């Protein structure tokens, strides 16, 4: 089958099937072989791997995955693409296409059924509207996944990788870094897609931790503290945590906890710090003191 990473081959398939792009499904198909190679390299796929692809489109990334992996499961929501995929993936007997909304798929059950519960890899040129929900679902539910290699908006990629003191640092950075190590493998300009998106994209590899890098008694409370701290970025941590509707601490309790956290971690005593300066370890310590 012709390499769909070559724009003329993608155009020929779209014409052959009289395909109409569905904006609501975030359809931006890749048309650049270098980017496809970068994705497969970043995913580090071997012949033992089972790969879950979210949103195969016309099968462009899928073809590359089929060459590299033992088996590929591709979940595509758009029914009009299923017959196209039958055609473009006809050369491969190691791929299964499922016509379903990935947000409705029980991925843990799928891993159990297709890979006897052994960890899989996830690869996707993500439809941007589900980037955060799908990543957070996979991470929080601790679905057996070794790593995910995902194309996403550049701005979201930068937020995932950001560290304290960086303007992109926020609740998403901490949530992603609690479960994985994010690494931006490539920046991808709009002209690598058809149609072109309005913003730049990036390929991110998230290597999932077997165990989180910090220990915390109640990670739900820690994430509530994180959310409250960044909801009011300009406020002090003290005010952010006292004014949150989801938390029920007095200003004195919060102040005392901040000072205790700083003492425990050998930091300078300052009750007026901002949440955006705190590391994951500091949030974990604060959470343990408040819990
Ligand atoms: N993988 C193809 C490529 O790189 O050329 C297509 C990528 S395109 C950005 C996103 C794909 O995800 C589209 O094919 C779209 O129909 C599909 N999609 C959108 N929402 C989905 C969902 N909830 N579940 C499964 N697939 C979805």
pLDDT number for residue 150: 98
Ligand 1, atom 17: closest residue by C-alpha: 55
For ligand 1, whether the C-beta of 265 sits within 6 Å is no
Query: Ligand 1 center to residue 74 CA distance, Å?
Result: 10
**pLDDT, average across residues 187-199:** 97
Instruction: Give the whole-angstrom CA distance, residue 130 versus residue 206.
Output: 16
pLDDT number for residue 124: 98
For ligand 1, whether the C-beta of 52 sits within 6 Å is no
pLDDT number for residue 190: 98
Encoded tokens for 3: 């390499």
ipTM score for this prediction = 0.99
For ligand 1, whether the C-beta of 59 sits within 6 Å is no
Of 25, 132, 196, best ligand 1 pocket probe by most atoms within 8 Å of the beta carbon: 25
- Which atom of ligand 1 sits closest to the CA of residue 53? 1
**CA torsion angle for 157, 160, 161, 163 (degrees, to 10)?**
140
**pLDDT, average across residues 173-198:** 97
For ligand 1, whether the C-beta of 31 sits within 6 Å is no
Instruction: Give the whole-angstrom CA distance, residue 39 versus residue 125.
Output: 9
According to DSSP, the residues that pair with 120 across neighbouring strands are 145
According to DSSP, the residues that pair with 52 across neighbouring strands are 73, 122
For ligand 1, whether the C-beta of 127 sits within 6 Å is yes
pLDDT number for residue 245: 87
- The percentage of the chain sitting over the pLDDT mark of 90, rounded to a whole number, equals 94
Residue with tokens 């792009």: 21
**pLDDT, average across residues 88-92:** 98
Ligand 1, atom 11: closest residue by C-alpha: 55
If residue 285 lies in a helix (H) or strand (E), which one and from where to where? helix 280-290
- Which atom of ligand 1 sits closest to the CA of residue 102? 24
Where residue 212 falls among pLDDT bands split at 50, 70, 90?
A: very high
According to DSSP, the residues that pair with 98 across neighbouring strands are 75
pLDDT digits (tens, 9 = 90+) for 29-53: 999 999 999 999 999 999 999 999 9
pLDDT of 89 higher than 80: yes
Across the chain, mean pLDDT equals 96
- The percentage of the chain sitting over the pLDDT mark of 70, rounded to a whole number, equals 100
Instruction: Give the whole-angstrom CA distance, residue 168 versus residue 157.
Output: 10
pLDDT digits (tens, 9 = 90+) for 96-120: 999 999 999 999 999 999 999 999 9
Of 26, 39, 156, 193, best ligand 1 pocket probe by most atoms within 8 Å of the beta carbon: 26
Residues 102 and 55: beta-carbon distance below 8 Å = yes
pLDDT digits (tens, 9 = 90+) for 127-175: 999 999 999 999 988 899 999 999 999 999 999 999 998 999 999 999 9
Instruction: Give the whole-angstrom CA distance, residue 207 versus residue 180.
Output: 5
pLDDT number for residue 170: 94
**pLDDT, average across residues 165-191:** 96
Question: Which one, of 87, 82, 85, 44, lies nearest residue 65 by Cα?
Answer: 44
- Which atom of ligand 1 sits closest to the CA of residue 28? 9
Question: How many residues in total does the chain contain?
Answer: 291
pLDDT of 267 higher than 80: yes
Residues 85 and 111: beta-carbon distance below 8 Å = no
Residues 49 and 70: beta-carbon distance below 8 Å = yes
For ligand 1, whether the C-beta of 77 sits within 6 Å is yes
Q: Is 100 annotated to bind ligand?
A: no
**pLDDT, average across residues 214-233:** 93
| b (16+ CB within 10 A) / e for 9-34 | bbeebbeeeebeeeeebbbbbbbbbe
List the Cα angle 105/159/40 in 5-degree steps: 55
**CA torsion angle for 82, 100, 95, 208 (degrees, to 10)?**
140
Tell me how far CA of residue 94 lies from CA of 37, 49, 87, 88, 197, in angstroms: 19, 11, 14, 13, 31
pLDDT number for residue 265: 97
Nearby residues of 71 by Cβ (< 8 Å), 6 or more positions away: 49, 50, 51, 94, 95, 96, 114
**pLDDT, average across residues 257-273:** 96
Query: Ligand 1 center to residue 182 CA distance, Å?
Result: 22
For ligand 1, whether the C-beta of 101 sits within 6 Å is yes
């Amino acid at each position: 089958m012709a390499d769909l990473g070559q724009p003329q081959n993608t155009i020929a398939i779209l014409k052959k099937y009289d395909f109409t792009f569905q904006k609501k499904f975030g359809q931006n198909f890749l048309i650049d072989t270098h980017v496809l190679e970068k994705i497969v390299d970043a995913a580090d796929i071997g012949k033992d791997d089972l790969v879950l692809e979210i949103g195969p489109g016309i099968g462009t990334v899928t073809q590359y995955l089929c060459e590299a992996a033992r088996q590929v499961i591709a979940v595509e929501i758009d029914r009009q693409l299923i017959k196209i995929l039958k055609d473009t993936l006809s050369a491969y007997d190691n791929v299964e296409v499922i016509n379903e909304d990935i947000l409705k798929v029980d991925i843990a059950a799928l891993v159990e059924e297709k890979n006897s519960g052994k960890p899989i890899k996830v690869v996707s040129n993500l439809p941007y509207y589900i980037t955060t929900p799908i990543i957070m679902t996979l991470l929080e539910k601790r679905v057996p996944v070794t790593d995910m290699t995902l194309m996403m908006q550049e701005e979201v990629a930068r937020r995932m990788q950001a560290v304290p003191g960086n303007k992109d640092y926020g609740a998403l950075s901490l949530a992603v870094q609690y479960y994985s190590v994010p690494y931006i493998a490539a920046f991808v300009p709009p002209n690598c897609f058809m149609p072109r998106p309005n913003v730049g994209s990036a390929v991110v590899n998230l290597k999932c931790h077997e165990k989180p890098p910090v220990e915390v008694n109640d990670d739900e409370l820690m994430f509530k503290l994180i959310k409250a701290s960044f909801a009011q970025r300009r406020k002090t941590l003290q005010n952010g945590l006292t004014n949150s509707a989801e938390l029920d601490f007095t200003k004195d309790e919060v102040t005392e906890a901040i000072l205790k956290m700083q003492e425990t971690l050998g930091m300078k005593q300052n009750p007026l710090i901002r949440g955006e300066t705190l590391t994951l370890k500091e949030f974990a310590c604060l959470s343990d003191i408040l819990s």
